[in-house]
Amino acid sequence: MMKYAIGLDANAHIITKLKAQNDNPKLIKALEIILDEEVSHVKKG
């Protein structure tokens, strides 16, 4: 479970940095989708 949490933290951090730089909106959207799906997956165990 810890490895999943680290990945989720990293993804959120990357999204924040990309948004701050107003960089690559398609990549940001893809990462947001992945983040949402991973949160759901981790909650299920």
Are 15 and 32 contacting, i.e. CB atoms less than 8 angstroms apart? Answer: yes
Whose CA is closest to 6, among 37, 42, 30? 42
Per-residue pLDDT in tens (0 to 9) along the chain, 45 residues: 455 566 777 888 899 999 999 989 999 999 999 888 888 777 776
Q: What are phi and psi of 12, to 5 degrees?
A: -60, -40
Tokens matching residue 18:
């990309």
pTM score: 0.72
C-alpha gyration radius of the chain: 11
